[in-house]
Chain A
Amino acid sequence: MEEFLRILTQALAELVAPSTAAYALAAIGLNLHFGYTGLLNMGQAGFMLLGAYGFGIATIAGAPFLVALLVAIAAGTVFALLLGIPTLKLRGDYLAIVTISAAEIIRWLGRSTVFQEWTGGASGLLGNSFKHTFHELSFLPDGRTAVGPLEYINTGSDSWWTRLFAWGLVLLALLFVWLLTRSPWGRVLKGIREDEDAVRALGKNVFAYKLQALVIGGALGSLAGVLYVLPRAITPDSMGRTMTFFVWTVLLLGGAATLFGPVLGSMLFFSLYMLMRTGMRAGLGDVIGGTQVEQLGGMLVGVTLMLLVIFRPQGILGNKRELAFNVR
């Protein structure tokens, strides 16, 4: 029973964890790409990693928190421009191939010895080196607070302050995306998703709209990267392709082209993922080792993604008639 409660608490903690918020924000950005504009960005983790580096390196160089945050956004913006300008005029799968490649290039550059001085190479940047500005901003009193079964320190890496900030940012992003997507601008994006030639024939500069969407979604991804590293170190290898694929799973689970899909998807995904892993460890711990549980968990994520896309492509919140995928 106690074991059971512990597992449940862990799953509950995932609902509000900063990394859940980070994935939600990254999926909100991806939703702007894929859900609304139909862009296949397979390198969201690259945007996140760049954001994290931008934030971390700027802070270490002495920038105040907000400036560091702006650096992160700028990094994502430049990356989006670099990727978008050559590929957004081409067929959709080129963007997919280029973004996934570029995200890997960022990771390789980050872990290479050439930039070790700034990125810390493969071992990355330690949390203590770039988090002080963030912690100084906290208005929470010192000490610990317990809300129900969840107890964290008020200010620190894995703290209430981190959670508050992360989810606050997610809410702001939701508001922003809500305003954007119900505007005529968002309407053009949806038109492009449906058929860009038709939109072009109506006199819209499709390329410019796609680039704008890529930049904004990418900048949101960069901010998500900052959220992701606030409770931990910046290690390039933890922000690779698997992360991108998880963001996709989160988005498709919640429902692409829906406002709350990414948030719901992220909460559900990570609490279920935690439930599954801790459950398996408790239940099957004698039969298989801890690493195998992780691997089995990963495998199930893959299978879930497949089943989801095949049987419920619109996700949980999506409208059956307004499927997430083009019916052409």
Chain B
Amino acid sequence: MTADRPHRRLAWRRLLTALAVAAVPAMLTAPPATADTAPPGTDCTPDGVACVAVLVLDADNGRVPGAQATITDGADFSVEVTTSADAVTSVEVPTSGGYTVELDPASLPADAPLPEGAPTSIDVTAQTGSTARAAFRVGAGVQAPPATSAPPSGTTTPGTETGAGGEAGSGTTAGGEPGTDGGVVDAPPEGDASQRAFSLAQVWQQIGSGLRFGLLLALASIGLNLVFGTTGLSNFAHGEQVTLGAALAFISVHVWGLPLWLGILASLALCAATGFAQDAGIWRPLRRRGTPVMQLMIVTIGLSIALQFLIQMFIGGRSLRIVSSNPVPLRIAGITLSEASWVAMGIAVVCILGIAWWLTRTRIGRATRAVSDNPALAAATGIDPDKIVRIVWIMSTTFAALSGILVGISFGSFNWSLGMQLLLLMFAAVTLGGLGTAYGALVGSILIGLVVELSNLVIPSDLRYASALVILILVLLVRPQGLLGRRERIG
């Protein structure tokens, strides 16, 4: 496989063939359109129960409009849909389970008939929180590679779009951002376990996605770790700070009508203010009272509950997109991600380098590390720990917000539970890297990002976060202080 590297096209062919061999033609399809891009009525985001999508594609992977299909569950549920050229046609189905998609061959255009012997109906299994796709291939030339080894129209399994496969597909078709549907919310259908055979190119692609996820996660977990380092507090409300960032960016762009860059800045400013207000209003007075850290941790849980419901009140339970235009795929070094993702990764790298510079080269940054190491000693040398902690809180909430915004943009959409999902991964990351160590959060986050995305290749995508947490528990067994943590007296 590695020999193919110079010829990217060939590599993609091989990849596609490999996938086709695994009987997943749906990889050639575009990801489902989300709320803002498709005409109402036919679109669906799987945050209800599940969606079934119907794809009718010609030999060039173009969507064939006007084809009619019926989706039934064998009992009372029956919906008729008509495909359109500019979006994937999908409908929301009431329960998870098996559905049959029956294509009406008569509705197909004359120049794109169903090939001889191809079935007119496909059985799919709709799975909660994801979109099951039924893809029909029509028209002349469908026998042409890469689909040769697969039946012209095949069955799809739920959430069939492998990360790499989907991305490969979106490279050739006009499609949405690869692997973005559903955001990081509840099992986005990015990977598939039924798809056991995977190629190096796929692994490479997943490493790319893993790095993206890891970098964005790092941005949030560094703040979590800084707060832990300076105050000893595990902040359970940190996840909500991430959601808050994304939600405020959404509100400033879509409700207040600000341009994107201004909306992001407004969100960051507001979140920085929440950090300041939290420390001034809650944490500093409690530190003054000498409240034990364990007690403070439960206060953060209360804060997390309150913020979560507050955010829900404003943005509701839907999946939201901060940027409503379709993402443009961009391939760098054999990895296809949306342009927005690349930009987000760039911003994350710049910010992380900035934090590293700040921690090592500036007076306040060095003071922060001193406070982390030994608050009493730091205080004795003339550093005001309260001031440092205030700065750390502001940084923590600001970078959490930035992480939320970037995740929201580069993963396509987000909803109110974004931070809840990320919080556990952040905890896993900082524990993995070493609680309270400055660079532990970065290393841990990247590892977690890679584990999450790579595990897509071997386990069902709805369990991909579980894999990260299992790794966390295993690491604790072997090296409780984390990868970069110092060994402290335990047991």
Contacts and interface: CB of A to CB of B under 8 A. Distances in A.
Contacts of A112: 187, 460, 462-463
A302 interface: yes
B476 A94 contact: yes
B303 A302 contact: yes
B465 A302 contact: no
B301 interface: yes
A248 B466 contact: no
Nearest to A240: B420
Contacts of A300: 306
Given A109-B463, A245-B301, A325-B292, A296 B491 contact: no
Interface in B21-60: 49
A187 interface: no
A326 B294 contact: yes
A123 B305 contact: no
Interface in A242-300: 242, 245, 248-249, 252, 291-292, 295-300
Interface in A215-263: 241-242, 245, 248-249, 252
A121 B470 CA distance: 20
A94 B313 contact: no
Contacts, number: 154
Contact of B158 (A90, A105, A113, A291): A113
B295 A325 contact: yes
Interface stretch (A62-70, A138-146, A306-314): A306-314
Contacts of B303: 302, 306
Nearest to A328: B292
B292 A326 contact: yes
Interface in B269-311: 282, 286, 291-292, 294-295, 297-299, 301-310
Interface residues of B, number: 54
Interface in B169-190: 187
Contacts of B302: 249, 302-309
B299 A309 contact: yes
Report which residue of B193, B424, B465 has the largest number of chain A beta carbons within 10 angstroms of its beta carbon.
Answer: B424
Contacts of B488: 91
A86 B477 contact: yes
A245 B305 contact: yes
A101 B313 contact: no
Contacts of A310: 286, 291, 295, 299
Contacts of A92: 294
Given A90-B491, A309-B302, A108 B463 contact: yes
Contacts of A309: 295, 298-299, 302
B479 to A, nearest CB: 11
Given A96-B234, A105-B466, A302-B309, A327 B292 contact: yes
Nearest to B491: A89
Contacts of B282: 306
B309 A299 contact: yes
Contact of A105 (B307, B470, B480): B470
**Nearest 6 CB-CB pairings of A with B:** A302-B306, A302-B305, A305-B302, A122-B128, A306-B302, A298-B309
12 contacts: A98-B472, A109-B463, A295-B312, A298-B305, A300-B306, A302-B306, A302-B307, A302-B308, A306-B306, A310-B291, A325-B294, A326-B294
Given A97-B427, A112-B462, A302-B304, 12 more contacts: A40-B294, A91-B488, A105-B466, A114-B463, A122-B129, A207-B491, A292-B313, A295-B309, A298-B309, A299-B305, A302-B309, A328-B292
